[in-house]
A and B are shown apart, each in its own frame.
Chain A
Amino acid sequence: MKNIFKIAILGVLGLFIQSCGNGGSSDQKSGAISGNAAERVYVAPGEHDEFYAFLSGGYSGNLTVYGLPSGRMLKEIPVFSQFPTNGYGYSEETVPMLNTSFGFVPWGDAHHPDISQTNGELDGRWVFINENNTPRIARISLEYFETEEIIEIPHSAGNHSSSFVTENTEYVVAGTRFSVPYPQEDMAIDEMKGNFKGPLTFIAVGDDGRMKIDFQLKMPGFNYDLAHPGRGDSHGWFFFTTYNTEEAHTMQEVNASQNDKDFIAAVNWKKIQEYVQNGGGEEIDAEYAHNVFDHSTQTATTTMENKVLTVDPREVEGAVFFMPTPKSPHGCDVDPSGEYIVGNGKLSTDLTVHSFSKMITAIENEDYEGDAYDIPILNFDSTLAGTVKEGGLGPLHTEFDGKGNAYTTFFISSEVVKWKLGTWEVLDRQPSYYSVGHNMIPGGNSRKPFGKYMVSLNKITKDRYLPTGPELEHSAQLYDISGEKMELLSDFPTHGEPHYAAGIPADKIKSKSRKIYRLDENEHEYAATNESETKMVRDGKDVHVYMTTVRSHFSPDNLEGIKVGDKVYFHVTNLEQDFDVPHGFAMIGANTSELLIMPGQTKTITWEPKKVGVWPFYCTDFCSALHQEMQGYVRVSGQNSNVPLKWTLDDEEIN
């Protein structure tokens, strides 16, 4: 309790000093930024950025794409949340993407994007990202920049120590931050201790990217906060930070902060993989959705799965160990060589760094200081590589530049600190504005970082931009880290609340980015790939409209025979095969969203007309000089009318 107080006071003091510093020297602050900072972030009109940055959207549920060093937002990719901008999660094709065992969930909390790797280096095939609230992992294609797959994680809650990939993308992991009964059952909350579990889920990734849960490791009911894979010599291991090893079920801000040390769990997944391949583990009931978007049919499907393989870590000799780590560690970061595992003790001023080789020796010597639920706890001093002293206050996350340096964010003292691996000496510190969470160096958590820029993702924005009322977007800052000292280059606003981010040199992916969907590969069930195929088909109360768009008209553009009480499916195919010529579709009174249909794509939206009359629809994307003319009419007749279905273009019936 005393410690908490101290930290709180320090925190307040930190903020005070911070604000004093700012208030007194705002001129100096800009003066301190070297004169050519503007030049270094300036990307001339028509030029491209050097890096892509993928920022999680936090409570937006989505992923945003930025260019670095400019800080320009290039795109928002819908992942876990409905996105009326293009119809994701509203269109018939994409609604299944948001299905879960809890039904359709229209929103998510997206946290930690991670780019697929080959031999420990970024390969730019996919970005994975986790949903914290209703545990899920998504895979986003970096050819289409679209979500291709979402798998729900059964038996988990607070899916936070997730979606980190192993060196060859063998696995993407999904840990449990809020331990829960495993499997779920009705029990008294205060019986949590010893009864709740924190499963760690290992999802195998196929060569085509397809995800499949390989096994769940049934870990003690701690809170598994963050994770990173081993690399190099430590490839085959995964490391997870834990907090609340107290297993408190209430008032956790106090009760989960009592132990001086929590753990970093070291998991030898190769051993468990082997164990599972040899028939180990127990298949238990589970209920989870697996949603896959097929690019040829342009349609997502949901498969409900009902089994998962669970592994008791105590059953696999030498597979799981705990390394004591002080002060409720948050970030768990592994340096490019794979030797150092950094525990960012968030209630501390220090960083604890473990040595992988010392850990192996300690395991060999059975150098234990006890056990937790029969899982060996390694002796703290035996695995300790060093401590970064007085780095700052409240360390959260560490990234690496590939030149022997590490960069740690300090939330409470609101700064980024550069220190040296091996000597643990602090080399430089720079303020962040304000209260930085994650930082990101492109490739900064892989074998090969690109240590030119670092982005800090800040939790508090306050006065950094023109005021926009009480609710603000979060702020990011770009630092040049190519020299000895870090240099703050620019501020840029983000969207939602970015937690982690992932960056990659643009050259690795930009040439693979698709320009159109090929119409001759469109296998959509309701596609009309030329105007002569457009039609209306009635099936009871359902009316399917096969419609096309091309600059600058719909086909058909006059529709009759629809009645009040019908459910109309507009299946709209964009016949264009020209880069960046989308058409939109919006229908008056639709209780769904618009559609934004890219060249060669087919999308479907439903409309349930409630009033008789003649109702317009139109193209929502300013597609051409005749865009304003790109509209049509639907005649809606009374429920008992016998107006026949009729679809025309230029007063001529089609077919």
Chain B
Amino acid sequence: MLIGSALLLGLFIYPLWNIQLEAPQYPDSLGMNIFIGGIQGEEEFDIQNIDGINHYIGMKKIPTPAEMWEFNVFPIVIGGMAALGALLGILGFFKIIGPNWFLGWLTLMTVLGILGMIDFNNWLTDYGTDLDPKAIMKLTDSEDKPLSYKPPLLGSEKILNFTAHSYPKAGAYLMLVGMLITLVAWWVGKKATKGRS
């Protein structure tokens, strides 16, 4: 349980998600790493260059941490959950609380995770569809509706000349492993309790 929740702290170091934009003109691809505290370019000038390209189709600039409440709240939530997990782990170790608390933590974490993903997806939708009415290029789909430039939440998708690849990164994997370990901790704890009874 301790290890599991400690792995959440990896999110403060490693990115949660990564979106790469590949195009004929960008053989090395432009990329952004999404951390719980903000978005950074893979290469120094990637964000500036993504913004430069996006202005043609009227997309907003990639937000700075100050422009998105999520980047202030997420670190607190993750930090809080890690601390809570650690506390439960210690209490569990000294048999003050039962293993079901672990499951409770896991459930809460899962719910928060799903909420986070929904929020992330909403942002992607807003980013990809709320376009400047004075955009240089206004493209429509086969039904004459404005084209959406929303990158996929997970997977790869072609958007005009770019192919966007959106995948979790080290931070997210560490979190998943952490949650898995918590599940194991609950299961082992449960068995041990059963064995004793």
Chain A residues engaging chain B, CB cutoff 8 angstroms: 516, 550-551, 576-578, 624-626
Q: CA separation between A577 and B48, bound complex, in Å?
A: 8
Q: Does B93 contact A (CB under 8 A)?
A: no
B56 contacts A550, CB within 8 Å?
no
Residues of A within 8 A of B49 (CB): 577-578
Distance A625 CA – B53 CA, assembled complex (angstroms):
10
B136 x A550 contact (CB < 8 A):
no
Q: Would A577 and B45 count as touching, CB distance under 8 A? A: yes
Question: Looking across the interface, which residue of chain A has its beta carbon closest to that of B30?
Answer: A578
Given known A577-B45, A578-B45, contact A625–B52 (CB-CB < 8 A)? no
A45 → chain B closest CB, angstroms: 12
- Which of the residues B44, B45, B48, B56 comes within 8 Å of A625, measured between beta carbons? B56
User: Is A576's CB under 8 angstroms from B52's CB?
Assistant: yes
Interchain CB contact (< 8 A) of A626 among B45, B48, B136: B136
A626 to B56, CA, bound (A): 9
Residue of A nearest to B46 (CB): A578
CA distance A550 to B49 in the complex (A): 11
Bound-complex Cα distance A577 to B30 (A):
13
> What are the residues of chain A within 8 A of B45 when measuring CB–CB?
516, 577-578
Q: How far is the CA of A550 from the CA of B136 in the complex (A)?
A: 15
Distance to closest chain B CB from A518 (angstroms): 9
Digitize B48-70: 1 where CB-to-A-CB distance is under 8 Å, 0 elsewhere: 11001000100000000000000
Which chain B residues (122-152) contact chain A, with CB distance < 8 Å?
136-137
Query: Please, which residue of chain B has its CB at the minimum distance from the CB of A599?
Result: B45
Residues of B within 8 A of A551 (CB): 52
Q: Which of B22-76 contact A (CB under 8 A)?
A: 44-45, 48-49, 52, 56
Per the bound structure, the CA–CA distance linking A281 and B193 in Å amounts to 97
Chain B residues with Cβ below 8 Å from A577 are 44-45, 48-49
Residues in A with CB closer than 8 Å to B44 are: 577
Q: Is the interface of A mostly helix, strand, loop or mixed?
A: loop
- Chain A residue contacts of B52, Cβ below 8 A: 550-551, 576, 578
Cβ contacts under 8 Å, A625 to chain B: 56, 137
Q: Which residue in chain B gives the minimum CB-CB distance to A577? A: B45
Residues of A within 8 A of B137 (CB): 625
B56: which A residues are within 8 A, CB to CB?
A: 624-626
List of 3 A-B pairs having minimum Cβ-Cβ separation, nearest first: A577-B45, A578-B49, A577-B48
State the CA gap A578–B137 with chains docked (Å).
21
**Smallest beta-carbon distance B41→chain A, Å:** 10
What is the bound-complex CA distance between A624 and B57, given in angstroms? 13
Taking the nearest CB of chain B, how far is it from the CB of A93, in angstroms? Answer: 24
In the assembled complex, how far is the CB of residue B9 from the closest CB belonging to chain A, in whole angstroms? Answer: 33
Which of A516, A578, A624, A625 has the most chain B CB atoms inside 10 A of its CB? A578
From residue A519, how far is it (CB to closest CB) to chain B in Å? 9
Taking A516-B45, A577-B44, A626-B56 as known contacts, 14 extra A-B pairs with beta carbons closer than 8 A to each other, sorted by chain A number, are A550-B52, A551-B52, A576-B52, A577-B45, A577-B48, A577-B49, A578-B45, A578-B48, A578-B49, A578-B52, A624-B56, A625-B56, A625-B137, A626-B136
Complex Cα spacing A516 to B48, Å: 14
List, in ascending order, chain B residues with CB within 8 A of A576's CB.
Answer: 52
Contacts of A516 in B (CB 8 A): 45
Q: Which of A550, A577, A625 has the most CB of B within 10 A?
A: A577
Taking the closest CB of chain A, its distance from the CB of B78, in whole angstroms, is 32
Bound CA–CA A626/B49 (angstroms): 16
Q: Which residue of B lies closest to A576 (CB)?
A: B52
A624 contacts across to B, CB distance below 8 A: 56
Complex: A409 Cα to B136 Cα, angstroms: 60
Residue of A nearest to B28 (CB): A579
- Bound together, the chains give a CA A628 to CA B137 distance in angstroms of 15
Contact indicator per residue, chain B 1-22, by CB within 8 Å of chain A (1) or not (0): 0000000000000000000000
Tell me which residues across on chain B come within 8 A of A550, comparing CB atoms: 52
Nearest Cβ on chain A to B57's Cβ, whole angstroms: 11
Q: How far is the CA of A516 from the CA of B44 in the complex (A)?
A: 12
CB distance from B177 to the nearest CB of A (A): 36
14 of the cross-chain contacts (CB-CB < 8 Å) are A516-B45, A550-B52, A551-B52, A576-B52, A577-B44, A577-B48, A577-B49, A578-B45, A578-B48, A578-B49, A578-B52, A624-B56, A625-B56, A625-B137
* A626 surroundings in chain B (CB, below 8 A): 56, 136
Distance in Å: Cβ of A392 to nearest Cβ of chain B? 47
